[in-house]
Amino acid sequence: MTDTLTPVLTANWDQPDSFTLDGYKRTGGYQALPKALAMAPDDVIAAVKAGSLRGRGGAGFPTGMKWSFIPQNDGKPHYLTVNADESEPGTCKDVPLMMANPHVLIEGAIITCYAIRASHAFIYVRGEVLHTIRRLQLAAAQAYEAGYLGKNILGSGFDLELIVHAGAGAYICGEETALLTSLEGYRGLPRNRPPFPAVEGLYASPTVINNVESISSVPSIIANGSDWFADLGTEKSKGYGIFSLSGHVKTPGQYEAPLGITLRELLELSGGMRGGRRLKFWTAGGSSAGILTDEHLDMPMDFESVAAAGSGLGTRSVQIFDETTCVVGAVLRWTEFYQHESCGKCTPCREGTFWLVRLLDRLEHGQGTDGDIEKMLDVCDNITGRAFCALGDSATPPITSAVHYFRDEFIQHHKEGGCPFDPAASTLWGDS
Ligand SMILES: Cc1cc2nc3c(=O)[nH]c(=O)nc-3n(C[C@H](O)[C@H](O)[C@H](O)COP(=O)(O)O)c2cc1C
Ligand code: SF4
């Protein structure tokens, strides 16, 4: 069973010095870089395209295609911005990756900048993860000292400056245009698109924005070849990815596997449900995608299959909830997050998330009315597709999917005057 896993980015995590330059090099690190520098930049882009790497930050946009949108010979500076603002509930892959293996991200960033002809790269990290920021700063300093960053990298004539930038801690700053605005020193609010960042991004210059895991996957494609990468995964979702398991599972953590692995397989690898309890609901792609149930245990976790099931692969944050969990309470908690993180720029999201929390809260506490479920769905309908950015759209699938699968539980809360679940039973310190 364990050969279902494909440790690449996580391969050296159990080494005590995995985060150092020596530790990374000992396990094959910085071998892709000279190979890439010996190629023409366009050939590097072609290799990533041929590997069919799709963005690991949520939307699954083809990475090589994104790079090829950067206009060439335009006389403008080009930038790479690595999105390391990871903060969606349940999403926990980029921070552990940067903690354990920051050099793979730096090597990927250097190769990417070479391909898109950028001489400045920024890693925009969520401000709260100070320990991770320190790791990245140390790794960047080591890379400069070893000649992987700075002027004339490995004698190739290619120059690159890398800046580790700490954000102030706002979920909206993970939205790519808000990230750029924040990086420029303004309040992190989303911008209109078009113009897209590839044309007018950071400081109004062509900019590639990619997720930490997307950029970190690049060295393995260059080192092992596009075919190696494309042979992993499913027909349209190639390669491997980190699946972060949390919640009511015996051994939570990061499991790196080919796209298309099923929850049943992941549960076998992680020791199963805690206390042998029944799976009630789960997310395949974080709180922004709709919840799924035990009828989806054998669904391949690739972009297409999860979308066909009405949810999304997102960031592969697999949050697992057993039968002790109140679905209304869980959805309320997520919705409180979206209300708190709404930047307030547009009315549907700012007002809608406020009212969704009020409705869910009174249902959870037995003060709801007969019409609350329909009212909630109506508010969701008025946010979806009408919000300025994807944060608003992300707030509604947990609610609509929960009502779809567990409408009776919502009604029960209302009819029985409150939540029928014992909150202590669903805590993680209960039993395992
Ligand atoms: C509210 C919001 C938060 C986001 N947060 C992140 C994040 O923390 N990290 C990330 O890589 N992408 C995040 N995204 C997606 C980015 O906008 C963007 O699609 C992604 O960084 C592109 O990288 P990729 O093509 O490598 O996936 C977020 C999107 C939204 C709407
Ligand atoms: S949907 Fe509107 S209010 Fe919500 S975060 Fe985006 S821009 Fe801000």
pLDDT band, very low/low/confident/very high, at 4 (cuts 50, 70, 90): confident
Q: Is the pLDDT of residue 73 over 90?
A: no
- Of all protein residues, whose CA lies closest to atom 12 belonging to ligand 1? 57
- Of all protein residues, whose CA lies closest to atom 8 belonging to ligand 2? 343
Q: Is the pLDDT of residue 1 over 50?
A: no
> Of 345, 392, 397, which Cα lies nearest the Cα of 192?
345
Which strands make up the sheet holding 161-166, listed edge to edge? 161-166, 120-125, 79-84, 207-211
How many Å from the N-terminal Cα to the C-terminal Cα in the chain? Answer: 22
- Of all protein residues, whose CA lies closest to atom 4 belonging to ligand 1? 174
* Rounded distance from Cα 58 to ligand 1 centre (Å): 6
Question: Percentage of the chain with pLDDT > 90?
Answer: 95
* Rounded distance from Cα 200 to ligand 1 centre (Å): 18
Task: Give mean pLDDT, residues 404-411.
Answer: 96
- Of all protein residues, whose CA lies closest to atom 2 belonging to ligand 1? 175
Question: Tens digits of per-residue pLDDT, 178-219?
Answer: 999 999 999 999 999 999 999 999 999 999 999 999 999 999
- Of all protein residues, whose CA lies closest to atom 1 belonging to ligand 2? 392
- Among 48, 81, 176, 217, which residue has the most ligand 1 atoms within 8 Å of its CB, making it the best to mutate? 176
Q: Is the pLDDT of residue 324 over 80?
A: yes
Closest ligand 2 atom to Cα of 353: 4
For 69, left (φ over 0), alpha (ψ -120 to 50), or beta? alpha
Look at residue 432 in the predicted model and tell me its pLDDT: 52
Task: Give mean pLDDT, residues 156-167.
Answer: 98
- Answer whether 273's CB lies under 8 Å from 20's CB: no
Look at residue 3 in the predicted model and tell me its pLDDT: 56
Residues with CB under 6 A from ligand 2: 172, 190, 342-346, 349-350, 387-389, 391-392
- Answer whether 98's CB lies under 8 Å from 242's CB: no
Mean confidence (pLDDT) of the chain: 96
Say which ligand is closest to the CA of 285.
1
* Rounded distance from Cα 194 to ligand 1 centre (Å): 17
* Rounded distance from Cα 96 to ligand 1 centre (Å): 17
Which DSSP symbol is given to 302?
A: S
Q: Is the pLDDT of residue 22 over 60?
A: yes
Say which ligand is closest to the CA of 87.
1
Q: Please indicate whether residue 176, judged by its CB atom, sits closer than 6 Å to ligand 1.
A: yes
Say which ligand is closest to the CA of 312.
1
Rounded to whole angstroms, the Cα distance separating 396 from 394 reads 6
- Answer whether 92's CB lies under 8 Å from 130's CB: no
Look at residue 294 in the predicted model and tell me its pLDDT: 97
Question: Tens digits of per-residue pLDDT, 257-305?
Answer: 999 999 999 999 999 999 999 999 999 999 999 999 999 999 999 999 9
Question: Percentage of the chain with pLDDT > 70?
Answer: 99
Q: Please indicate whether residue 87, judged by its CB atom, sits closer than 6 Å to ligand 1.
A: yes
Determine phi and psi for 418, rounding to 5 degrees.
150, -170
Task: Give mean pLDDT, residues 7-21.
Answer: 96
For 38, left (φ over 0), alpha (ψ -120 to 50), or beta? alpha
Q: Please indicate whether residue 237, judged by its CB atom, sits closer than 6 Å to ligand 1.
A: no
**Beta strand pairing call for 240-247 and 253-258:** antiparallel
Look at residue 411 in the predicted model and tell me its pLDDT: 95
Q: Which has more pLDDT, 424 or 111?
A: 111
* Rounded distance from Cα 390 to ligand 1 centre (Å): 10
> Which residues, 6+ apart, have CB-to-CB distance to 267 below 8 Å?
249, 273, 279, 297, 320
CA distances from 133 to 129, 171, 273, 276 (A): 6, 17, 34, 38
* Rounded distance from Cα 166 to ligand 2 centre (Å): 22
* Rounded distance from Cα 86 to ligand 1 centre (Å): 8
* Rounded distance from Cα 212 to ligand 1 centre (Å): 10
Describe the crossing of helices 212-224 and 102-116 by its angle, rounded to 10 degrees: 80
Q: Is the pLDDT of residue 134 over 60?
A: yes
Question: Tens digits of per-residue pLDDT, 225-253?
Answer: 999 999 999 999 999 999 999 999 999 99
Q: Please indicate whether residue 203, judged by its CB atom, sits closer than 6 Å to ligand 1.
A: no
Q: Please indicate whether residue 190, judged by its CB atom, sits closer than 6 Å to ligand 1.
A: no
